[in-house]
Each structure stands twice: as C-alpha cells, then as structure tokens.
Amino acid sequence: MRSTSDSDLTHDAFLGGRLHLWQPRAGYRAGVDPVLLAASIPAKAGQSVLDLGCGVGAIALCLGERVPGLALMGVERQSDYAALATRNGLPTQTADITALPADLRARSFDHVVANPPYFDRTAGHSATDQGREGGRGHDTPLAQWIDVAARRLRHKGFLHMIHRAERVPDMLIGAQGRLGSPEIWPISPRVGKPAELVIFRVRKDGRAEFRLHSPIILHEGAQHERDGDSYTPEIQAVLRDGAALTL
C-alpha cells in the first residue's frame, strides 16, 4: 500500500480553488479529464451519483461542487486511493467494481460516472507505480464497466464516461442491449486536430437514435505557440469557475 502520510501527498486546487483534493505526490493524479466529465453531467439537486473507480474522488466531488444537494458515492479498489477519496469528502467503499458490496448492489442511482483506465494491459506495458498503473492500465474489460453501471442505474438514469477516442467501438458494443440513446462528444486538442478523447453518454431504457456531436475544442489556435494557458473560454470556465459544459 502507498504511504498516505501528508508528506507524500499534495493538496491540489480544482475549479479555481473552489475544491481541494488530497492526492499522492507520485503515482496516478487526477487532471483535466475528470473535471471535463463532471462538467458534462446534467445532474439535479436531490439526485444520486455513483462514481465507479473513483480514485481520489475528482469526478463526483467536482460535480457536487457545481450541483449542491447530490447524494454522492464512490467505489475504488485501491484502498489508499479510497481512503483519500473519503478524506476529500466522498463517501467511498473499497471494492472492485466487479464485486460490489451487498449494500451497493441493493441500490440504484440516477447517474453512474466513470473514468476507466485508458490502456488495455493485454496490449501494452504496465507502469511500475501501482497507483499509476491502477489509474492508467486496466484488466477489467470496458464491457464489464458498462454492465456494472447498467445494473446500478435506475429507469432513465445516465451513464457518463470519458475515454480514449479509439475505444468508442468497445463502448458502443458494451452498451448494446443494455443501455440506449448513445451520444458521443469528441474532445479535440485544437481546431482541425483529431479527437483524442470522447465523452460517452448512454441511458437506461433510452430509445433515441445514436448521436455524434460537434467536437469540444480544448485550446485556442491551430497549434501550440507559447507556454501558458491557451484554453478556450468555455474550457476555462469549466476548469476555473466550475461551469457546466454546453452540450
């Protein structure tokens, strides 16, 4: 288990300082991706949210900062990260998503959110740091993440995921027959650049046709020209002010 003494942690500001999260100084650390995912979720006060593989709790806690009055819950299999998520303010159970505790299996949620590990370790190299490997490489198929989410969603509830663009076929196949109304927002670093990530939304008992939306552009300009912050105004509002993405 990683040391969680304060000397081995950082206390990092998110949403322009509205939220601070304890994170390991080394290993997997939450960045921009979970903040973008949290900004995409149309949650309302009084609804419930389950964060699968929550890490230190960035997605759920960013969402809760924007939408007060949510009932938030996290699940994280690495006990040190689960402890940090709880310390950060997200009630978190230590468990693998494929073996949820009985009390969670008995509950349903309005929203399930996930930022699954991006890289399939059957086709790549593992990171030497256990925490980084747990956050970046996976041994649980995407279809299983989606299956677990589908079981925990109530009627008309939403699953939101952020993942690599090349994994879109896997996500669509995983949702087929389980969750409907699929929507995808490509996330491109700049205008004219290929999407590297996507936000993926599906709905329990949804019946709408598939929709591929216009890309979300992260940075201004056609190329990187200088050091410093070059985020578009919309992305700056998300990262600095805790605003919702306009989807």
CB 148 within 8 A of CB 98: yes
Residue 187, domain member (yes or no):
yes
The total number of structural domains in the chain stands at 1
Residue 246, domain member (yes or no):
no
Angle (CA) 234-237-241 rounded to 5° is: 165
The pLDDT score that the predictor gives to residue 221 is: 85
CATH assignment at residue 122: 3.40.50.150
- C-alpha dihedral sign at 78, 129, 36, 162: negative
Residue 107, domain member (yes or no):
yes
Residue 1, domain member (yes or no):
no
Counting as low any pLDDT under 50, the low residues of the chain are: 1-3, 121, 124, 126-127, 129, 131-137
Q: What is the reported pTM?
A: 0.89
Query: Does residue 106 sit in helix, strand or coil?
Result: coil
CA 183 to chain centre: 16
Q: Where are the alpha helices (DSSP H) in 24-109?
A: 32-39, 58-66, 79-88, 102-105
Pairing label, strands 180-188, 197-203? antiparallel
Residue 59, domain member (yes or no):
yes
Query: Does residue 66 sit in helix, strand or coil?
Result: helix
Residue 144, domain member (yes or no):
yes
Tell me the per-residue pLDDT of 160-215, one tens digit each, with 9 for 90 and over: 999 999 999 999 999 999 999 999 999 999 999 999 999 999 999 999 999 999 99
User: Domain range holding 213?
Assistant: 6-241
Residue 103, domain member (yes or no):
yes
The pLDDT score that the predictor gives to residue 132 is: 47
Angle (CA) 79-57-149 rounded to 5° is: 90
One-letter-per-residue 3-state SS of 115-182: CCCCEECCCCCCCCCHHHHHHHEECCCHHHHHHHHHHHEEEEEEEEEEEEHHHHHHHHHHHCCCCEEE
For the chain, how many helices (H) and strands (E)? 8, 13
Pairing label, strands 153-164, 197-203? antiparallel
Residue 247, domain member (yes or no):
no
